[in-house]
Homo-oligomer: A and B are copies of this chain.
Amino acid sequence: MAGDEPPPLSDSDPHQHQTLKPPSPLNQKISAQKRGEDAANEAMDKGGGSSESDSEEGGESGGIWAQIKYEALQDAEAEPALASYLYSTVLVHPTLERSLAFHLGNKLSSPLLLPSLLYDLFLGALSASSTLRAAARADLRAVRLRDPACRSFNHCLLNYKGFLACQAHRAAHRLWSQGRHSLALALSSRVSEVFAVDIHPAARIGLAILFDHATSVVIGETAVVGDHVSILHHVTLGGTGLEKGERHPKIGDGVLIGAGATVLGNVSVGAGAKIGAGSVVLTDVPPRTTAVGNPAKVVRGRDGAASRLNDVPGESMDHTSFISDWSDYVI
């Protein structure tokens, strides 16, 4: 594959290998995350053209890419069986963008969709869009912070099919927005086969998203997902029938959707709301409330008022504390 690779688009530090440093503490990561996401949101707000640039971020120092290389080198030293895999997937690449494009290209390729074609597609999208670059970093940080089973950024980059499916979707969505529908659909179809994550390329997905486990996630054409959202496996954001227009859910910022939840129709799940595992949601859910059950109802306190959440469920990942409010939950 190396032979297919175009010359680097940006200055990358040739001494990067030598200058790898141990990770900075997690709280520095968190403030870095806030900065990164603010910048990405800003870029998104500016809209398409003006926020695009033609560089990768190989020159970043002390950022997430240096951390990933450090982690991969540690793993390669500790586990010789993985060394060759880690070198060709991570360590040989000058930038996160090239590593990600290489990894996605390999995973999504088929006998008739060559890895080199897909590599060029993904690298092209990442090189042209600062939004995609920022989103990849914000998603890596979201996974690392919110999933206690995630041991390192490198672990997420290599092994989280939810993360990989989301990055592939972002590239497919860009193609869709450029009117390249058949290519976008071919990509999303491969993602559905390889990762069992089925996101229509027209769906709009925000930044700092965690798709945890991710198997069987289905997100329809007119769905919108805000920022800082966490979505577990088996979740459906589905449509309601034959009509062509807006027919899928709109998920606000900071929402948490539990495993196996099904949200159907052009309904709104308000910012900071939480959908319990296995719920079936067919109407709007107010912001900062918890909806559970089949059909889903808002959890209410003993005074009958909807219980209000004070945290950001998409980040605090608290799946079950509502049980104490769920007055008829006894087993």
Q: Enumerate chain A interface residues (CB-CB to B < 8 A).
A: 75, 78-79, 81-82, 84-85, 88-89, 106-107, 110-113, 115, 117, 121, 146, 148-149, 151, 155, 158-161, 180-183, 185-186, 188-189, 192-196, 198, 200, 213, 215-216, 218, 220-221, 232-234, 236, 238-244, 247, 258-260, 262, 264-265, 276-285, 291-298, 316-321, 323, 326, 329-331
Contact = CB atoms under 8 A, between A and B. Distances in A.
A186 B85 contact: yes
B240 A259 contact: no
A146 B242 contact: yes
Contacts of A85: 112-113, 186
A159 B189 contact: yes
Contacts of A158: 186, 189
A234 to B, nearest CB: 6
Given A79-B180, A159-B186, A220-B149, A239 B331 contact: no
Nearest to A84: B112
Nearest to A245: B148
Contacts of A242: 146, 148, 316-318
Nearest to A117: B81
8 contacts: A85-B186, A215-B218, A234-B236, A260-B260, A265-B319, A277-B280, A278-B294, A283-B323
A175 to B, nearest CB: 9
Q: How many protomers of this protein does the assembly include?
A: 3
A258 to B, nearest CB: 8
Nearest to A115: B111
B155 A265 contact: no
A151 B185 contact: yes
Contact of A215 (B192, B232, B319): B192
Given A149-B200, A238-B319, A242-B316, 19 more contacts: A78-B180, A78-B182, A81-B117, A81-B121, A85-B113, A148-B244, A159-B188, A159-B189, A161-B192, A215-B218, A216-B234, A238-B277, A241-B316, A259-B262, A265-B320, A278-B279, A281-B331, A283-B331, A297-B331
